[in-house]
Chains A and B, each alone.
Chain A
Amino acid sequence: MCVAIPAKIISIDGLVAEVEVGGVSRQVSLQLTPAAKKGDYVLVHAGFAINIVDETEAQETLKLFAELERLNSAANLD
C-alpha cells in the first residue's frame, strides 16, 4: 500500500524540502518529519517525507550480507 522512496534533501525552506532521487527533484512537505536536515535521506510518500532513513541501520542490514557470505564460503570449504 505504500510506494515510498528514499530521496535526499537538497534544500529546506520552513517545512518544505526540495528532495532529489536519481537526478530528479521535487518539493515535499516535512510536516511529518520536522527534524529532517539538509543532506538527510527521507522516505517520500504522496508528497510527504514520512521518515528519515537511518543510514547506520542501512549499513547494519548490508553488513549482515557480508556475514552471510562468510558463513557461506566457510560452509563451502568443508
Chain B
Amino acid sequence: MKFIDEYRDNEKARLLLQEIYQQAKQPVRLMEVCGTHTVAIARFGLRKLLPQNIELVSGPGCPVCVTSQRDLDKAIAMAQLPRTIIATFGDMMRVPGSNSTLTEERATGRKVRVVYSPLDALQAAQENLDHKVIFLGVGFETTAPTVAATLLAARQKDIKNFEVLSLHKTIPYALKSLLNLGEIKLNGFLLPGHVSTIIGSQPYEFLAREYGLACVISGFEPVDILQSILLLLRQINMGQPQVEIQYRRGVRPEGNGQAQKIMRQVFEPADVEWRGLGFIPETGLKLRQEWAEFDAALKNNINLPEVAENTACRCGHVLRGVLRPTACPLFAKECNPQKPRGPCMVSSEGSCGAAFKYELSGAIK
C-alpha cells in the first residue's frame, strides 16, 4: 500500500537503528504523546530494538484514557434517557465509569451504537426520527474538526434530533501543564503526527523556546518513529532544541487552515478535567453559543452524585509519564484487559493495554 509499506521496510529500519546506536551517547528520556504512537512502538517491539540509554515514556495522549470518570458517567446517564441512541467510536465502549461501561449498558438494552465516523451518527439521526442521537465527541485536534464539520452538515440539512457531547481536548497546553508539574525530567518529545496535520508546528514552539526540549513531529510507521528518534538525538547532541517535522508527507508547518477554521466556527476553549491530570484551563473544546441546539451537555439535565475515583488505580501516574505500566501494583493482577480497573488498560491504545498485549513477554528470547 502506497505511503505505508515504504515506511515499514526493515532495511531502512535497520539503517536507522545503526545510526541511532551511534548517536545515543548519553541517557535520554523522550515522551511520546499519542495513543497511536504508544501502540505502534509496542506493536513493532521498538523499545527492545533501541539502545538501553534511550527511555521512551508515554504521556497523556490517549483521548480515551484521559476522559474523566465523571464524563463517562455523563455519557452512560445519557444512554439511559428514553428514546435516545448513543453513537460512539469503538474505543469508548469498554472504558469504565464509576460502575458501568457503555458495553454493559448495551447489554441491559440501552441503545448504544459503534460508528466509524461522526457522519454515520448523523445518518443514524436521519434514519431514526423518533429517537434522539447523541454522539460522543472524543478525540484531540485530529478528530474535533470532523465533528465540527458534521455539525455544519447537521445545520445545513436542518436535522433536529442530533446532539454532540463534546469531550474533546487539545494537546499543546496540556503538555505545558504536564511540564509545570515538574514531576518528570524529559529531553524531548515525539509529537503526534495527525494532531499536527491539523494544527501545524507553531503551537509547539514554546516547548523548544521556553523549556529547551527537542521536538519532532512524527509519523506512525516504524521507519517514521525511528527516524524521528534519530532527529531528536541529533537536536539533543547539538544542544539545538527546535520543532522539526519528520512527518513531512502529512504535516505542513501551517497545518490545515480549512480544518482549523471549521473547528473555530463550532468550538471554543473550555476548562476541563483530564483523568489523572485534574482540571487544566483552556484544554477542552465546548460548543459555541450559536450551536447550543446541538449541545448535549446543555440540553440534557444530568445530575450526577459525587463519586470518588478508584484510588488504587494509578492511571494518573501512568498518563503523566512517572509510572511505567509494569510498575503499577495492579498491572496484570487485578487489572487486565478483561477486567480493566482504569482506562489505560481498556484496550491496546492505553499504555497499560499496549504493555499487556504486546510487551508482557518476559519469557521470550
Contacts and interface: CB of A to CB of B under 8 A. Distances in A.
Contacts of B153: 31
Interface in A3-60: 3-6, 8, 21-22, 29, 31-34, 41, 43, 45-48, 50-51, 53-55, 57-58, 60
A72 B145 CA distance: 43
Given A1-B63, A2-B195, A65-B12, A45 B3 contact: no
Interface string B82-99: 000000010000000000
Contact of B117 (A41, A46, A68): A46
Interface string B243-259: 00010111110001011
Contacts of A50: 142, 145-146, 194, 197-198, 256, 259
B35 interface: yes
Contacts of B3: 6, 41, 53, 58
Interface string B5-40: 010000010011011000000000000001110000
B297 to A, nearest CB: 21
A62 interface: yes
B61 interface: yes
B80 interface: no
Contact of A43 (B120, B248, B250): B250
Contacts of B325: none
Contacts of A2: 34, 36, 139-140, 142-143, 192-195, 220
Interface residues of A, number: 35
Nearest to B197: A51
Contact of A62 (B1, B6, B149, B152): B6
A45 B107 CA distance: 29
Interface in B113-133: 116-120
A43 B119 CA distance: 17
Given A6-B1, A48-B149, 15 more contacts: A1-B35, A1-B139, A1-B142, A2-B140, A2-B142, A6-B2, A21-B1, A29-B119, A31-B153, A32-B259, A45-B146, A50-B142, A50-B256, A57-B249, A68-B16
Interface of A: 1-6, 8, 21-22, 29, 31-34, 41, 43, 45-48, 50-51, 53-55, 57-58, 60-62, 64-65, 68-69, 72
27 contacts: A1-B140, A1-B192, A3-B36, A31-B153, A31-B262, A32-B145, A32-B149, A32-B262, A33-B256, A33-B258, A33-B259, A34-B258, A46-B117, A46-B139, A47-B146, A48-B119, A48-B145, A50-B197, A50-B256, A51-B250, A51-B256, A57-B249, A58-B249, A61-B248, A65-B12, A69-B15, A72-B15
A29 B149 contact: yes
B15 A65 contact: yes
Contacts of A34: 258
B62 interface: yes
A46 to B, nearest CB: 5
Q: Among B89, B227, B249, find the residue whose CB has the most chain A CB atoms closer than 10 A.
A: B249
B260 to A, nearest CB: 10
Contact of B249 (A3, A33, A54, A65): A54
B191 to A, nearest CB: 12
A1 B116 contact: no
B312 interface: no
B4 interface: yes
Contacts of B139: 1-2, 46
Contact of A4 (B116, B149, B194, B227): B194
Contacts of A72: 15, 18-19
B119 A1 contact: no
Nearest to A43: B250
